[in-house]
Chain A
Amino acid sequence: MLELKNISFSVNTDGTEKEIIHNLSLTVEDKKFVVITGPNGGGKSSLAKLIAGVEKPTAGRIILDGKDITDLSITERAQEGIAFAFQQPVRFKGIQVITLLRIAAGKPLSVSEACNYLSEVGLCARDYIHREVNASLSGGELKRIEIATVMARHSRLTVFDEPEAGIDLWSFQNLIRIFEAMRVNIQDSSMIIISHQERILNIADEIAVLANGRIEQFGTREEMLPKLIGTSSAQDACSRLK
């Protein structure tokens, strides 16, 4: 279980402090699939970074399974079982996809095990396993590799920041299937997905709307969906084509 208690977060822009998360509290229970949605600039990615330890809150505590992890480093939080798929994945000159998967798994992976993760995200593994994670990969390919590396971690808490961004419609169907499967196999872990997609909201246990640095609404899918459908927080997958 992840508890965010009275979290505030400020950034420094041109010498002036600007608070972008205000006294935010949120609990993600075990076995729960929580979707965070909300307008651009609302603070979703900032919140994900605070959970992963990439950013440190200016106030408040972060508790994972009863343990205060607020002062733990990124590495320590990863070792405690937090995984984080970036909204904008990072490229590496020279590092191969298989190397990244091995680092993520934290143990030696056979080529066929590594290939399984790639197949799950719809990449023909043979073509990609020895590719460098560099500028030659397309945005969508990179995004899927990012998801595969996070899956290879088998973490207790996984945060996905807009996993659907940059993924084409056909692959989007597959992506939904991946998340559905993860939800079925969630066991004792929990997942936080930042998303604007109705199809992803549809498989959530709970939905939070984050706007202006605050959780403006929070509830079960049944409570929340009727309020959100048709608003910009829940785009259907075809809206981009209309």
Chain B
Amino acid sequence: MVKLDEIQKRLIREIADLHEVPAGAYNFRANSALAGRNTTANIDIISKEDGSGIDIHIKPGTVHESVHIPVVLSESGLKETVYNDFFVGEDSDVVIVAGCGIDNCGSQDSEHDGIHRFYVGKNAKVKYVEKHYGSGDGQGKRILNPVTEVYMEEGSSMEMEMVQIKGVDSTERTTIAELKKKASLVVRERLMTHGSQRALSVYKVLLQEEGSSADIVSRSIARDRSYQKLDACIVGNAPCKGHTECDSIIMDEGTILAVPSLEAHHVDASLVHEAAIGKIAGEQLVKLMTLGLTEKEAEEEIINGFLA
């Protein structure tokens, strides 16, 4: 059974597209307590003995299964640090949906710092989706500081989709990955900040062995007086391929810092980065206005497309 109130259910819908209890394994956490858990024959979820988080064990060869581990905070003033460790067995193929929603109507800050570690076994495939969302009109801030560590064995692959579009006042995201032979990592990050929000995102990806590859693409929009910093570093220590792309739209009085960096320690490391920051092109607005949209509607279409 999953015990959630209406606000919590709404948060869950925002971060995980879940309208009911999902099939497969799940662990729902609401206001720092367990609100529901399900395990399957192949996926086990165990609370850590010291209460600091959970361990998720996915048996080798598990295919077409999913794990949902949403976290919601709806009380003002909560601050928590949670450690979730994923042990993904060899040759498995799974979808993992995490995400955190905070509703803060009170005057104290609410903060969730989730530390996720992934041990991805040989030839395993993981699709990981993480959405962040904030709501509530209290003075208290909504703060999320996720740390994601990924250790990828030979031939494994991981696709990460990270989305934060609305309502998070302050975020510091750190993503660290280490890839062995022929492992591949794909990251798609979408970020939009409003008001006086701040968002920092740091990536450090180490391509350790032959044939490993990483592709990190971030698209972001900074509106109002918000601040963003993206720091994406790929290190090539073997014959490998790495690509980073930071593509940002700046609006109003926003600030964007893009600091992509590449480090090669092997002559066959092929590393590329691209970074572009600009405002919405005037001709794009004009085109959509000739199709009958107002300037505001045109802007929304361009933003929606950009973040799609």
Q: Which residues of A line the B interface, CB within 8 A?
A: 52-54, 73-75, 78-79, 82-84, 86, 89-90, 92-96, 99-100, 103-104, 106, 132, 149, 153
Contacts and interface: CB of A to CB of B under 8 A. Distances in A.
Contacts of A96: 305
B308 interface: yes
B281 A90 contact: yes
A92 B305 contact: yes
Contact of B294 (A52, A75, A94): A75
A69 to B, nearest CB: 14
Contacts of A99: 301, 305
B139 interface: no
Contact of A93 (B286, B291, B295, B306): B306
A103 B292 contact: yes
15 contacts: A54-B286, A74-B290, A75-B292, A78-B292, A79-B292, A83-B290, A90-B281, A90-B283, A92-B284, A94-B219, A94-B308, A100-B291, A103-B292, A106-B292, A153-B292
Contacts of B306: 93-94
A149 B291 contact: yes
Contacts of B292: 75, 78-79, 103-104, 106, 153
A195 to B, nearest CB: 19
Contacts of A132: 305
B300 to A, nearest CB: 11
Given A93-B305, A94-B307, A94-B308, A104 B284 contact: no
Question: Which 6 pairs across A and B sit closest by C-beta, in order of nearness?
Answer: A94-B305, A95-B305, A74-B289, A78-B292, A90-B287, A94-B306
Nearest to A106: B292
Interface string B274-308: 00000001011011111111110000011011111
A149 B290 CA distance: 11
Contacts of A100: 291
B172 to A, nearest CB: 27
A90 B293 contact: no
A44 to B, nearest CB: 17
Contacts of A79: 292
Given A75-B295, A90-B281, A95 B301 contact: yes
A153 B289 CA distance: 13
Given A75-B295, A90-B281, A84 B290 contact: yes
Chain B interface size, as a band, is: 20 to 34
Contacts, number: 60
Nearest to A152: B291
Contacts of A83: 290
A78 B302 contact: no
Contacts of A74: 286, 289-290
A53 B285 CA distance: 13
A94 B192 CA distance: 15
B55 interface: no
B130 interface: no
A154 B289 CA distance: 16
Q: Which of A83, A100, A103 has the most CB of B within 10 A?
A: A103
A71 B158 CA distance: 55
Nearest to B303: A94
A58 to B, nearest CB: 19
B301 A90 contact: no
Interface in B2-18: none
Contacts of A82: 290
B247 interface: yes
A82 B283 CA distance: 18
Contacts of A92: 284, 302, 305
Contact of B287 (A86, A94, A153): A86
Nearest to B306: A94
A151 B173 CA distance: 46
Contact of A78 (B289, B301, B307): B289
A45 to B, nearest CB: 13
B291 A153 contact: yes
B301 A75 contact: no
Contacts of A153: 291-292
A99 B292 CA distance: 14
Contact of B288 (A52, A54, A93, A103): A103
B307 A54 contact: no
A95 B302 contact: yes
A41 to B, nearest CB: 20
Contacts of B304: 94
B198 to A, nearest CB: 25
A12 B156 CA distance: 59
B1 to A, nearest CB: 40
B290 A52 contact: yes
B290 to A, nearest CB: 5
A84 B284 CA distance: 14
Contacts of A52: 290
Nearest to B295: A75
Interface string B258-275: 000000000000000000
A82 B286 CA distance: 14
